[in-house]
Structures are given as C-alpha cells and as structure tokens.
Amino acid sequence: MHTKVKIGFIGQGWIGKNYADHYEDRGFVVVRYSLDQEYIGNKDRIAECDYVFIAVPTPTTTKGFDDSIVRDAVSVVGDGKVAIIKSTIPPGTTRKLCAQYPNKFIVHSPEFLRESSVRYDVDHPDRVIVGIPEDTKEYKKIAEEIIRLHPKAGYVKIAPVEEAEFLKYTHNTLGYATIVFANILYDLSQVYGIEWQTVKDFILNNPWFPEKYIDPVHKSGRGAGGNCFIKDFAAFHEMYARELKGDTVGIELLEAFVRKNKDLLCASGKDINILRGVYGDEENAGV
C-alpha cells in the first residue's frame, strides 16, 4: 500500500502510541490525536485521514461496560473514511455505530498485544482479524486493504463484525480462566509436595494444553491482572448473565472464577487499583 495514505490514530496510550510509531517508522503520513496536550490540537486533522485506528479505553465499572469514549472517537472520523476499532467491545457495538454514523466505514480489528512486548507484537502480529458489518464488495475491499496495512501475519481472517468482537473476548476470557485454574493446580500441587516445574513441563510438552498463562506467580503477584483481563472478564460475565439468564450454573461458574481471582489478586497485593476500578469499593472488590 502506498505510504502517501494518511493514517490517523485516536488514543495514544501504550497501544495507540506503538501502532502510530510503527506506521510512522514505515514512512506513512501519521496524525495522532488524544487528550494529551501534545496531540489535542490534531482533532480536526483526523477527518482528513483515510484510515483511523481507534485505540481508546473501554472500561467496565460498577455501572457496567462503557463505550462512550469509542463513540466519541468515531464521531471525529471524516465522512467516507475508514474507522478501525482496536478497542475491545461487546458483539453488536460496531453495528450500532454503523447505524449511528452511516456515512463512515467502521470495522473492528481486535489487537492481541502484550504490554511487555507491545512494539514487537505490533511489528510481528501473529493474527490479523478484520470484522466487517456488511458482506459487500466495498467492505471486503476495505478489509483487504486493512490487512495489507498490517505486517504479514500467520493467521488472517475477514469475518462478520460480531465474530471479530467475540474473538477478542474469547482470547481474554480463556487467558483469565487459564491463569485462575493454573493457580488452583499450583495450590494443590504444593499440598502434595509436587514440584510445580514438573507440572509446568508436562503442560508445555502436551500439544493439547495451552503454553501461556500457566505461571501461578506472574509480574507483581498471583491471579489474572492487568488492564485488560479484569475488565474484560467482568464485561463477559455481564454479557453472559444478560443473554443466558436461564443458565444459572454457567453464571455461578463465572462468578466463582471472579471470586477466586479476586482472592488471588488481593492476597498477593496485585493490581488492587484496577480491581477497585472495575468492582468499586473494597467490599465489592474483595479487598
């Protein structure tokens, strides 16, 4: 794709900044907009950009999932231009935005970046997924152009937009659940005097089991923490309880994962502020 294409980036946190740096280093014309003093003056310039990556917070709080920042970001994109939402959003969100902004092309392309190696992951993506709201030639062409914008990836998929939105939750909730269960395995292994490294080696050498998220102690403590896992599992729990009200066992299982993870985080003092941001006061957060 010709580097004269102008690419906008709304949000300059650790995700948006590294995407913008990547494309700037490749020679693309880049416009950055965020509420930071350095970039806040670029708001009107975003409307001129052919493609706009949106990487803004989508918090889950005691009031539920909040997509207001994403909606505000899409409003800045110019008519006839392409908004590429990287933020994690529940299935159906992109389609609602398309109805709200019919003169813009809006797709969802989830990111799978690790904060510890974010620039490497941007430069070497293992997956590029583009979710489109309509199965038309125009949207398929846009999706193909977005795939070409990204570096070559081992797994590439153009999918209905709800699938793309759901796949990101699949990634984060499975990671969350794996971490919690690895901690359960760890605690029982210690009771029986079993070396955890033996269990870990067994998992790593079994092609049926995941290779990631099996260290019971990670970074600052135990449990599924970080800026994404806690809020996204809370949003998934909320979605499941809303859409599958009759499955009390499934809802209770998700609640049990949340309770166990809170216990792990609180006992090790890990990401307490993030936990409080999602669940509220100390009692609700489990602190």
pLDDT of 253 > 90? The answer is: yes
Q: 20 and 154: one domain?
A: yes
pLDDT at 282: 63
pLDDT of 285 > 70? The answer is: no
Domain of residue 246 covers 167-285
- 167 pLDDT band (50/70/90 cuts)? very high
Do the domain assignments include residue 37? yes
Do the domain assignments include residue 45? yes
- 1 pLDDT band (50/70/90 cuts)? low
What pLDDT digit, counting tens, does each position of 170-224 carry? 999 999 999 999 999 999 999 999 999 999 999 999 988 888 899 998 888 999 9
| Residue 243 structure tokens | 């859409």
Residue 242 φ/ψ, nearest 5 degrees: -75, -45
Higher per-residue pLDDT: 121 or 217:
121
Q: Residue 114 is part of a domain; what is its CATH number?
A: 3.40.50.720
pLDDT at 220: 87
pLDDT at 84: 99
Q: 14 and 150: one domain?
A: yes
Assess contact for 56 and 153: CB atoms under 8 A. Answer: no
Q: 23 and 155: one domain?
A: yes
pLDDT at 64: 92
Q: 260 and 151: one domain?
A: no
| Residue 247 structure tokens | 């499955």
Pick the last residue of a domain from 139, 160, 181.
160
| Residue 168 structure tokens | 């990101």
Q: 88 and 73: one domain?
A: yes
- 3 pLDDT band (50/70/90 cuts)? low
Taking the alpha carbons at both ends of the chain, their separation in whole angstroms is 51
Average pLDDT, the chain: 96
- 147 pLDDT band (50/70/90 cuts)? very high
Per the structure, the count of domains in the chain is 2
Torsion sign (Cα): 179, 60, 239, 237: positive
Q: 128 and 48: one domain?
A: yes
| Residue 57 structure tokens | 């917070």
Pick the last residue of a domain from 106, 127, 160.
160
pLDDT at 38: 96
Q: 124 and 192: one domain?
A: no
pLDDT at 219: 83
pLDDT of 287 > 80? The answer is: no
204 Cα distance to chain centroid: 25
The three-point CA angle 99-101-104 to 5° equals: 115
Q: 74 and 119: one domain?
A: yes
Q: Residue 202 is part of a domain; what is its CATH number?
A: 1.10.1040.10
Assess contact for 204 and 211: CB atoms under 8 A. Answer: yes
Pick the last residue of a domain from 103, 129, 160.
160
pLDDT of 44 > 60? The answer is: yes
Q: 12 and 153: one domain?
A: yes
* Percent of the chain predicted with pLDDT > 70: 97
